[in-house]
Structure 1
Amino acid sequence: MHFLNIDIKTLESLGGIHTAREIAQQPAVWRKIWSIIQEQKDELSEFLSKADFHKIILTGAGTSAYIGESLTGTFFRHQKGCTTAIPTTNLVSHPYDYFSSEESLLMISFARSGNSPESKAAVELADKISKKCYHLIITCNPVGELATYHTKGDKYILKLPEETNDKSLAMTSSYTGMLLAGLLVGRLNEIEALKSQVEQASKYAERILESYLDTIKEISSLPFKRAVFLGSGPLLGTATESQLKLQELTDGAIICKEESFLGFRHGPKAVVDEDTLIVYLLSNNKYVCQYELDLIFAMEKGKKALSQVVIAEHFDFDLDVNFSIQYTDNGNSLDEDFLSLPSILPGQLLGFFKSLDQGLQPDEPSSSGAISRVVQGVNIYILPQPTQNR
């Protein structure tokens, strides 16, 4: 038996068995999650229909916060409410900037373990300050502090399959599992029709795992010291998560940055040099893609990157880049929001293979212990009353 074309014994000796398995299992896990949410459709619909709120906050810490970045548009368009993605790390330090006694809100919390200090503190602060808070908690750990959180208000705990509770340090199945759950909840009234979207996204991911492992290994072997991931709309969240995966799995040896295609022109482009890898995550929205292609063409001027990679659903244009990854040859098209699912796999794989290239153990790449699976050492302090001028 093998994962990512590496046999289990070798993966165990390299300290990468969990990460490899958790990356490889994602297409199967996505299909399972669709079934779980389809089974809970009535209960979820009842919870959402009874929730009377002014705004929606999508929250989490680290990787879990990036899920909200990819889902903001989905919830704004389909739930018809003002939607913002705010990390729990911001909510805890500045709660009066986001919670108000005059507003009710729907707070959707994403958490792998649900045991991060900020996760529980954020829901408690929302309950304490808001007029009323409806909690939808999407978690991979059925016994975590979030999953067992007691609130006087209304809550719904959506527990994902056991496989999503990653054993490795870096979140992979947990990230995409919670992201997919958010996509489906945001468009719950379309759940039956969305089965085809989940199936197509799964097939795209399977193609990456079957056809592009050698390409991604080759990219990971390049001597880059920094990497930039670019994305637009929901794919900006994917770019953000991609850069974290590469940086985490290389124990910070590769310095990474994310940005939108349009935003990259406004200063961040200065980071590009001969040691830089640039990864372009292209939208399949033709309007959006015009801006993205303009930026890629503009990269011909100025300092040259070591290598450029384009990742797209399919190519109907010519680009002067070093590597390309394409999900389909048959003209199929995913909704742009769902494209964020398979688009994370190249970033996960790049981090995995670069970790091995650096002589690290992907399951536990932090040699110093600077980062851990569940953040430690965060003190939560008593919140003072707001000052008079607030």
Structure 2
Amino acid sequence: MIDSIENKLGLSYELQSDLGAVNTAREICQQPDVWRLTYQKILEEKVLISEFLKDAYAFDDLKIILTGAGTSAYIGDILSQSFQQIVGKNTWAFATTDLVTHPQQYFGAEDTLLLVSFARSGNSPESVAVVELAESLCRRVYHLVVTCNEGGELVRVAQEKKSYVVFLPEETNDKALAMTSSFTSMLLTGILVSRIDRLEDCKRQVDRLIKCADIFLLNEVEGLKTVSAMGFDRAVFLGSGPLRGAACESQLKLQELTGGQVICKFDSYLGVRHGPKVVIDNKTLVVFIFSNDRHARNYEVDLVKSVNASGSGLYLVGIGEDSSSDLDLDLYVSLSSDGEVVLEDDFLAIVSVLPAQVMGFYKAIELGLLPDSPSVDGVISRVVKGVNIYPFEI
């Protein structure tokens, strides 16, 4: 594994160690391997997961909430619409940080609820509190927990309820501050769970996903390393549909890994036109994550042309599965080498966050930060601290 990490990121293990970057480097580079393990695990548990979901899906009025804190919450943002379309049940994505403060706005006394909780450590106080709130406020609750940590408090609490817990491979329990392989593996799990009845058909998508990540790590890292050395102090990430959630995760990753020295924003291609576009100046990195949906792509191409016409942005980067782009961009990050467009957009969202992970990794080093722990003053930590949970009075 050490050799492969050195080859993919171009830094010796000794140098990574000196730079405080060993964990982040490993966790970025291992993603194709842990996705393969994740698919295999869900395949092995297909019958058990299906039986659990069958009980919940039997209720016509079932309400599904996808939840998590911070990065884990973005999984629901990416998944909610496709989850609803595939499962055929009303599905929403709400962060635990919202559910805890205003539970009465999300949970009803007559609700039958499937609460799908995503958590790297399972020790965030909000994640645990939401399980108890749902139980106390809803008529009937099913808990599906997707976590990277078997020893988390969320697991202990959920196992006392009507629940099923998916433990992801141990390697996904990232040790670095910024979530990388944990995020993408939990997102993949959510996609596979939504398609649990046709899991074998997902194999082609998963294989393609892994191939795209391998191609990216082989061909595109050096270009992004060069981008990271540029003098930008803000970045804007854009995406449509499920890729808007990928843009959200990308902006957080770059901002986290640079300890807030690079201020980041995200939006949809149409949304950014309605005011937020004003933040793009000559020190702004602009990153376009391109959809494989032909209809959506029309709007994305128009926005690229608009940004170019205005002369905004220090540097324009595009990310797409296709192998070439005729758009006027400074750098196009191709996720394939065959020119084909295969991935559905929720699968594409998984691999589309890798460029931000790599840019954040190198930008942290360029700024003199330790990628494994870039928050010099401890403002952010691997597991949030200092959150008091207060009783909710019905």
Measure, in 2, the Cα distance between the counterparts of 1:358 and 1:211.
Answer: 24
SS in 1 for 2:265: strand
| 1:22 aligned to which of 19, 27, 34 | 27
In structure 2, the residue matched to 1:250 is 258
Matches within 5 A, 1:128-147: 128-147=136-155
Larger CA deviation: 320-329 vs 97-106 = 320-329
**Alpha-carbon offset, residue 336 of structure 1:** 1.7
**Alpha-carbon offset, residue 213 of structure 1:** 1.0
Say whether residues 1:109 and 2:117 are aligned partners.
yes
Measure, in 1, the Cα distance between the counterparts of 2:160 and 2:172.
Answer: 29
Aligned letter for 1:7? S
Larger CA deviation: 84-93 vs 148-157 = 148-157
Aligned letter for 1:28? D
Q: Deviations over 1:337-367 (max 9, x none)?
A: 2101111100110110100110100000010
Measure, in 2, the Cα distance between the counterparts of 1:247 and 1:152.
Answer: 37
In structure 2, the residue matched to 1:35 is 40
Matches within 5 A, 1:273-284: 273-284=281-292
In structure 2, the residue matched to 1:388 is none
Matches within 5 A, 1:370-389: 370-385=379-394
| 2:303 aligned to which of 295, 307, 310 | 295
Say whether residues 1:211 and 2:207 are aligned partners.
no
Matches within 5 A, 1:210-249: 210-249=218-257
**Alpha-carbon offset, residue 316 of structure 1:** 6.1
**Alpha-carbon offset, residue 321 of structure 1:** 1.1
| 1:55 aligned to which of 50, 63, 68 | 63
In structure 1, the residue matched to 2:365 is 356
Aligned letter for 1:313? E
Aligned letter for 1:336? D
CA contact (8 A) 2:235 2:262 kept: yes
Aligned letter for 1:78? I
Q: Deviations over 1:263-287 (max 9, x none)?
A: 0101100101011000000001111
Q: Tell me which protein shows more helix as a share of its residues.
A: 2
The number of aligned residues is 385
**Alpha-carbon offset, residue 332 of structure 1:** 4.4
Say whether residues 1:6 and 2:14 are aligned partners.
no
In structure 1, the residue matched to 2:172 is 164
Q: Deviations over 1:195-242 (max 9, x none)?
A: 111111011011111111110101101100000000011111110010
| 1:338 aligned to which of 339, 347, 358 | 347
TM-score, normalization: structure 1?
0.97
SS in 2 for 1:146: helix
CA contact (8 A) 1:243 1:256 kept: yes
**Alpha-carbon offset, residue 295 of structure 1:** 0.9
**Alpha-carbon offset, residue 320 of structure 1:** 1.0
Say whether residues 1:304 and 2:316 are aligned partners.
no
In structure 2, the residue matched to 1:77 is 85
CA contact (8 A) 2:248 2:266 kept: yes
Aligned letter for 1:359? G
Measure, in 2, the Cα distance between the counterparts of 1:31 and 1:232.
Answer: 27
Aligned letter for 1:64? S
Measure, in 2, the Cα distance between the counterparts of 1:285 and 1:150.
Answer: 38
Measure, in 2, the Cα distance between the counterparts of 1:80 and 1:72.
Answer: 11
List alignment gaps of at least 5 residues for structure 1. 386-390
Measure, in 2, the Cα distance between the counterparts of 1:132 and 1:110.
Answer: 20
Say whether residues 1:200 and 2:200 are aligned partners.
no
Aligned letter for 2:28? I
Identical aligned residues as a percent: 49
SS in 1 for 2:130: helix
**Alpha-carbon offset, residue 149 of structure 1:** 1.4
Measure, in 2, the Cα distance between the counterparts of 1:164 and 1:184.
Answer: 16
CA contact (8 A) 1:272 1:303 kept: no
Question: Structure 1 residues 152 and 12 mapped into 2: Cα distance closer, same or farther (>3 Å)?
Answer: closer
**Alpha-carbon offset, residue 93 of structure 1:** 0.1
Measure, in 1, the Cα distance between the counterparts of 2:52 and 2:224.
Answer: 43
Measure, in 1, the Cα distance between the counterparts of 2:98 and 2:135.
Answer: 16
